[in-house]
């Protein structure tokens, strides 16, 4: 079986001698057609972050990443009912394995869902990050007219913007923040009203110009009701961590911050804003099961276009080039396409 093998930061290869897995009880074997490179995969590729939860080891000792993928059911494990060989499905695993010709997936609504007619395998492989965005928007409970900021507009942040446009049609401003103009342009394409590149503008000053400046006994704010932190902490990017920027921009009362982006290390921030502004800070990890199915229905109906977010395609044999591409300014979502010659 052809599979990826993550070795160490900056090193990943394709192997053609991995053992094909067999489905256990309550599992199906999926013949993978497409697998996306997640932001967490990229954290791992940079400095080994989250490795223990992002790879699945083969009997040969190959560490296979990939937890958001699509394909067709190739085999049914013992006790599996209601599913058929050949069905097109989205699979999600919390422990990798998807960057291979075959991967086993437990049968439950959090990890296996059917792909509706008209949705491509590549588009379906973006289901999990879209569901993540739906959960973040649900947790934020954005009210009509409220201004929001999305820090980090890779595939997750862009999904948040698509979810906001779907769930809160009468929202105020949606301000996208990213160091890459390519991603800011895409953010506007899918619904952001404005974009801020911190390499060119001070985030707080630009947000205050767009949304209005508040200044009272709690301090100053840029009248942002909700900040979605999809960037986390990337050590090599200079300046205050995104969480500190979020706290500064956040409204002086009633503000919410939804934290999703990964953290490559510990960080130092000015936490005084938390005392002054009394914000609600929530983590978001994953999605509700129904949000997987909802994501696919949004694609099927044309309510959201996920295909435009896929910037690059690579075959599995070029997985090293795929990871390098995902780290470039031009990339939004890099998709690994897997030919099923061995199926």
**Amino acid 340: pLDDT:** 59
What angle in degrees, to the nearest 10, is found between the helix axes of 127-140 and 155-167? 50
What is the Cα Rg of the chain in Å? Answer: 20
Beta pairing partners, 100: 3
φ, ψ of residue 253 in degrees (nearest 5) = -155, 140
pLDDT, mean of residues 311-332: 95
Mean residue pLDDT across the chain: 95
Res 342 pLDDT > 70: no
Alpha-carbon distance 194 to 211, whole Å?
Answer: 11
Tell me, what DSSP letter sits at residue 317?
Answer: G
In the chain, where the domains are located: 3-126+306-337, 129-283
**Amino acid 110: pLDDT:** 95
Strand order in 280-283's β-sheet? 194-196, 174-177, 148-151, 226-229, 256-259, 280-283
Res 265 pLDDT > 90: no
Res 320 pLDDT > 50: yes
What CATH number is given for 3-126+306-337 in this structure? Answer: 3.90.180.10
pLDDT tens figures, 162-185:
999 999 999 999 999 999 999 999
Count of other CB atoms within 10 angstroms of residue 31:
20
CATH superfamily assigned to domain 129-283: NAD(P)-binding Rossmann-like Domain (3.40.50.720)
Q: Is 278 left (phi over 0), alpha (psi -120 to 50) or beta?
A: left
pLDDT tens figures, 217-231:
898 999 999 999 999
Count of other CB atoms within 10 angstroms of residue 71:
29
Res 341 pLDDT > 60: no
Alpha-carbon distance 31 to 103, whole Å?
Answer: 7
Write the CB contacts of 150 (distance below 8 Å, at least 6 apart in sequence).
157, 160, 161, 174, 175, 176, 177, 187, 192, 227, 228, 230
pLDDT, mean of residues 66-79: 97
Res 236 pLDDT > 80: no
What angle in degrees, to the nearest 10, is found between the helix axes of 127-140 and 289-301? 110
Question: pLDDT confidence of 343, banded at 50, 70, 90?
Answer: very low
Top-confidence residue, 262 or 204: 204
Res 65 pLDDT > 80: yes
């Amino acid at each position: 079986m052809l599979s990826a093998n993550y070795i160490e930061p900056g090193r990943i290869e394709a192997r053609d001698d991995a053992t094909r897995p067999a489905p256990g009880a309550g599992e199906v074997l999926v013949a993978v057609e497409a697998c996306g490179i997640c932001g967490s995969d990229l954290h791992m590729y940079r400095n080994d972050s989250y490795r223990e939860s992002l790879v699945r080891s083969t009997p040969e000792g190959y560490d296979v990443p990939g937890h958001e993928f699509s394909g067709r059911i190739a085999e049914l494990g013992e006790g599996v009912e209601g599913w058929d060989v050949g069905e097109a499905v989205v699979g999600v695993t919390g422990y990798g394995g998807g960057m291979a010709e075959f991967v086993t997936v437990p049968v439950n609504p959090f990890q296996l869902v059917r792909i509706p007619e008209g949705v491509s395998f590549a588009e379906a492989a973006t289901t999990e990050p879209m569901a993540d965005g739906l959960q973040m928007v649900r947790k934020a409970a954005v009210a009509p007219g409220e201004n929001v900021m999305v820090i980090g507009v890779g595939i997750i942040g862009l999904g948040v913007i698509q979810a906001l446009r779907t769930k809160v049609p009468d929202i105020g401003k949606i301000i996208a923040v990213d160091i890459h103009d390519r991603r800011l342009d895409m953010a506007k394409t899918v619904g952001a009203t404005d974009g801020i590149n911190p390499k060119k503008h001070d985030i707080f000053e630009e947000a205050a110009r767009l949304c209005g400046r508040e200044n009272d006994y709690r301090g100053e704010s840029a009248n942002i009701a909700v900040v979605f932190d999809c960037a986390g902490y990337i050590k090599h990017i200079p300046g205050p961590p995104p969480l500190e920027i979020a706290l500064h921009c956040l409204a002086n009362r009633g503000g919410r911050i939804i934290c999703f982006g990964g953290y490559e290390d510990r960080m130092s921030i000015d936490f005084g804003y938390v005392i002054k502004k009394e914000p609600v800070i929530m983590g978001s990890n994953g999605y509700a099961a129904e949000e997987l199915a909802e994501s696919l229905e949004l694609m099927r109906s044309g309510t959201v276009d996920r295909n435009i977010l896929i910037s690059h395609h690579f075959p599995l044999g070029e997985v090293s080039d795929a990871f390098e591409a995902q780290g470039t300014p031009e990339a939004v979502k890099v998709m690994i396409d897997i030919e099923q010659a061995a199926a």
